[in-house]
Amino acid sequence: MTIRRFLIFAPILLIIVLLQSYFWVPTYEEQTKGNPQRLNEYIAGSIGDASLLNPILTADSASSSIENMVFEGLMDRDEQLRFRGRLATSWEVFEEAYFYVNPSADVPGLGKADPQDVANFLKNAKKKKNAITTGLKNSLDYITSISVIPPRNYSVTKELKSPDTGEQKKYITINIAAPARIKLVLNRVEPNFFQNLSYLLGKNYFESFNGKAYLMSDSEMEKGILDKYAGELLPAVEHNPVLLFHLRPGVRFHDGHLFDAYDVKFTYESIMNPKNLSPRIAGYEPVKSVKVMDPLTVKIVYKRLYSPAMETWGMGILPDHLLNQNALKKEAHRLGKDPNTFSMRQSSFNRHPIGCGPFRFQEWKSDQYIILDRFDGYWEGPPNYKKYVFRVIPDQLTQEMEFYAGTIDSYDVQPHQVKRLEKDQRFQSFSGTALGYTYIGYNIRRKPFDDPRVRRALGMAIDMDKIINYVLYGQGEQITGPFVKQTDYYNHNIQPVPYDPQGALTLLSEAGWKPDKQGWLTKDGSKFQFTLITNNGNDLRKAILAIAQDSWKQIGIDVHTDLLEWSVFIQERVNKADFDALILGWQMGIDPDLYQIWHSSQTNPYQLNFVSFKNKEADDLIIKIRQEYDHNRQVRYCRMLHEIIAREQPYTFLYVGKWTAVLDKRIVIKTIDDTGHIGYKKITPTKTGSYSFYFNKWIKLPEAPAFMDEG
């Protein structure tokens, strides 16, 4: 009887507790009267905690939101999406192009020419430029210097790749007698340079170069495999785009140490160090070298054409003096750990980060809060807020109540609240379409998800209209693939997977899954069952979890579900690819480079292709997209890639959400004109919808200014 009465009154008790919590929280006015310092604090709420605070080691949104405050990159994009300097004041983009002199090819008018003759031939053609195509004329105009690199002899050792049989690794030593080659410096990156140059040197000049002829091995057995190394070791032509960054003088890390080019080089090397297991490797693998020209100049040379190159240098820069090999060895000894195996991932730096961004780290109490203090030595001038507080509030209802009470300063409105809150005169409101999407991802390493028919059938069983209408309250749109829907990279010709439970059963039957007497799908005596997981604290994903589970049970699939705390979900399940299926979302940039998420080389632990999607045709397109500088061709490749991924269905693509956020009306942008006059203006979003772009200029006033009530 007591238990029954408790169950009846439990919902009422919950409401009372929530109301008590709401009224117990001091209001904004009460806080500021008793503590004027509250005006100088910005408090944000998050459903999940950060994992680590090191920008080269993390990829989750909670960690990134703090890292963006603590660390600074060389550049970012302004409100019009143009690149702007941060730790770099300026940069130059050019190219160093190379080609081997081909002794077997006839150059028009020269015949079989030696290296210096070829160089002189190009110099003369650059001067004359008569009777040549427009493309070739432009390419010759881009050349700023021509030189000859003499022949050289050297050796390289390569590991022989073979099936993993547990045998000892085998290596081959290759002796190379490289012929002379021509180096050309261009004042811009020119992808069609060698194609245009072939009109001058001869149509087959580059194609007929035989790199294998210059490779030698002492072993007769090994001579047969030299072919596959020729293109890698002696490519006929080589594009080497170059970024030359000029760094901002006088910038200091939060510990007072001066930032310089060695920190940039160290950050790159740390990303590429396999001990660190950085998920960022794919964005920096195309780099050939990072060279410190002087303390304020760094030269970054790429191995090949790589169109997203600039974007990658928005990465937060790490302090070399705190994380280099000597520093890590000292820390390992201090902690009693083996210095030979101790890596950056184990460093206490990740819990006590030091960057050169606008805020400095103060305190982190796991699953409760992270506190940052204003960095008064910030190169652009200190932010107006003295403190930034990141509070972990897993329950969204609690977040909402705390926002109303003024104990957090902004709130991400849930879809069912949009109509009520977007026009609420008490707050300022912002809205837009997300640059990203929500999806169900399948672990293709595990059966039966290795069968694309099964993956498509799972998607066909889910009624997306139900999710958009009843979970999102219309605040979302269905999507079909991996590109940002607002860009022209997205293929709008791809039709969504239809809601068709009977068609799903037909596909599953083709894949060998038949219902048993109880109606459960079975194959070879095993029931079709798996676990679908997502993170706790996200009501939308929790609702989708229930809808997907019910939809799949309707067609005979036994699905279990699990909600995990954010840090456990990311670190133990996603990073280690320990799941059957999961619900997650991607926040995307406007650049179409999807290498880290979709290329088959990115399926290892801590990498972002954790569903293990592998497709040779897709891999080739991903590389083409990275190396293409012509926008129209890039769009065409993206749409082809979209088509392949939509066909293979490694994800069930769910929706792109429409977002609405509300902010305390007292928060405005503070302006100071040339005469020192202080003014205030409304916060306005950028082209991407970001309303926090000018966060460092935000200020909270005791009362909302009159213009906040206008219009």
Instruction: Identify which of 567, 488, 659 has the alpha carbon closest to the alpha carbon of residue 53.
Output: 567
The secondary structure of residue 571, as a DSSP letter, is: I
A 10 A CB-CB count for 563 gives 14
The two tokens of residue 350 are 């990740």
Contact 441, 573 (CB under 8 A): no
DSSP string, 128-159: H--S--HHHHHHHHHEEEEEEEPPEEEEEEEE
State residue 426's pLDDT score: 87
Helix axes 631-648, 616-627, angle to 10 degrees: 160
Please report where in the chains the tokens 């088959």 appear, as a residue: 600
State residue 221's pLDDT score: 52
Check if CATH label 3.30.565.10 holds for domain 436-659: no
Contact 486, 652 (CB under 8 A): no
State residue 654's pLDDT score: 97
Which helix (H) or strand (E) segment holds residue 458: the answer is helix 452-460
Contact 354, 319 (CB under 8 A): yes
State residue 223's pLDDT score: 58
State residue 419's pLDDT score: 87
Terminal C-alpha separation, the chain: 59
Residue spans per domain, the chain? 39-72+329-430+660-709, 93-242, 436-659
DSSP string, 260-290: -HHHHHHHHHHHH-GGG--TTHHHHTTEEEE
State residue 13's pLDDT score: 41
Q: Could you give the CA distance from residue 530 to residue 526 in angstroms, rounded to a whole number?
A: 12
Q: Which residues contact 655 (CB under 8 A, 6 or more apart)?
A: 437, 438, 464, 467, 468, 472, 476, 477, 478, 479
State residue 229's pLDDT score: 83
CATH topology of domain 39-72+329-430+660-709: D-Maltodextrin-Binding Protein; domain 2 (3.40.190)
The tally of CA atoms less than 13 A away on the side-chain side of residue 679 is: 11
Residues of the chain with pLDDT under 50: 1-26, 28, 164-165, 711
Three-class secondary structure of residue 124 per DSSP: helix
Determine if the pTM surpasses 0.75. Answer: yes
In 101-212 the beta strands, taken as DSSP E runs, fall at 143-149, 152-159, 171-178, 181-186
Contact 689, 476 (CB under 8 A): no
254 φψ region: left (φ > 0), alpha (ψ -120 to 50), beta (else) = alpha
